[in-house]
Amino acid sequence: MPAMSQATPSTTLQIAMAHHRAGRLAEAESIYRAILARDPRCAEALDLLGVIAMQVGHGNPAVDFMRQAVALSPDCARFHSNLGEAYRCQGQLDAAIASLGQALVLQPEFPAALNSLGAALVAQNRSAEAMTCLLRALQLDPRCTNAHLRLGNILMERGELERAGDCFRRELVLSPNSADTHNSLGAVLGMQGKTDEAVESIRRAIALKPDFPEAHNNLGGILIDQGRLDDAIACYQQAIALKPDYASAHSCLILA
């Protein structure tokens, strides 16, 4: 690997991206910033700094970096898509949908943008439109992160339990340690009356993510179905301890 002082700008960026892909975020960020010190108009470095900011939960800086990248390279679909995802993670759904829509104008068959747009539309309760986006994203790239999960949750709400369960199982092949997916699969299994499998799946979700109030609440519901009242009450109480304003858990506890 060439010394940084001897590397071309393109090589330097590749070195930073290699650190980034390997999860060495501090090293990658340092190099991206060094690139920008030499060339403040390097849109790629700005976008990737935004990606790092989003990865570490710094939403506002992520949006700021990505907006600068888009301003410098307005014809880059990936920059618009990343900005849209950053907006979505910040809860700025209208801005997210606008940015993701622009990404798809520039590159109509863009799985990541379709996936993020589907997630934003779900958050706006526009499930039919979201489903169209997610199905297309998965046609283009069956490995889209969380797309099977998002599609499965829509299908579960529509009562299409077999299809939903298939989606969750596909997601678990890609992301076996996804607590959200284990929880959703457990919910579907519970609705299908497969309570032992449901308990196993939701307990797996809790093992992966102990501070998961929705999973504790779901487990309580399954245990009620099994006649295990005391265990169910403990689950509802744990859900409330984690999320004191959790209305569903309070209601379930009153009715238990």
CB 85 within 8 A of CB 116: yes
Length in residues, the chain? 256
Which residues, at least 6 apart from 226, have a Cβ–Cβ distance to it below 8 Å? Answer: 195, 199
How far apart, in Å, are the Cα atoms of 159 and each of 134, 192, 193? 18, 10, 14
pLDDT tens by residue, the chain, 256 residues: 444 555 677 899 999 999 999 999 999 999 999 999 999 999 999 999 999 999 999 989 999 999 999 999 999 999 999 999 999 999 999 999 999 999 999 999 999 999 999 999 999 999 999 999 999 999 999 999 999 999 999 999 999 999 999 999 999 999 999 999 999 999 999 999 999 999 999 999 999 999 999 999 999 999 999 999 999 999 999 999 999 999 999 999 998 8
Which residues, at least 6 apart from 253, have a Cβ–Cβ distance to it below 8 Å? Answer: 233, 236, 237, 240
CB 33 within 8 A of CB 49: yes
pTM exceeding 0.85: yes
- The pLDDT tens digits for 49-92 are 999 999 999 989 999 999 999 999 999 999 999 999 999 999 99
DSSP codes, 1-42: ---GGGS-HHHHHHHHHHHHHTT-HHHHHHHHHHHHHH-TT-
DSSP codes, the chain: ---GGGS-HHHHHHHHHHHHHTT-HHHHHHHHHHHHHH-TT-HHHHHHHHHHHHHTT-HHHHHHHHHHHHHH-TT-HHHHHHHHHHHHHTT-HHHHHHHHHHHHHH-SS-HHHHHHHHHHHHHTT-HHHHHHHHHHHHHH-TT-TTHHHHHHHHHHHTT-HHHHHHHHHHHHHH-TT-HHHHHHHHHHHHHTT-HHHHHHHHHHHHHH-SS-HHHHHHHHHHHHHTT-HHHHHHHHHHHHHH-TT-HHHHHHHHH-
In this predicted structure, what is the pLDDT of residue 1?
43
CA distance 153 to 142: 17
- The pLDDT tens digits for 193-214 are 999 999 999 999 999 999 999 9
In this predicted structure, what is the pLDDT of residue 197?
98
In this predicted structure, what is the pLDDT of residue 43?
97
Tokens of 244: 């004191």
In this predicted structure, what is the pLDDT of residue 10?
83
At 209, the amino acid letter reads K
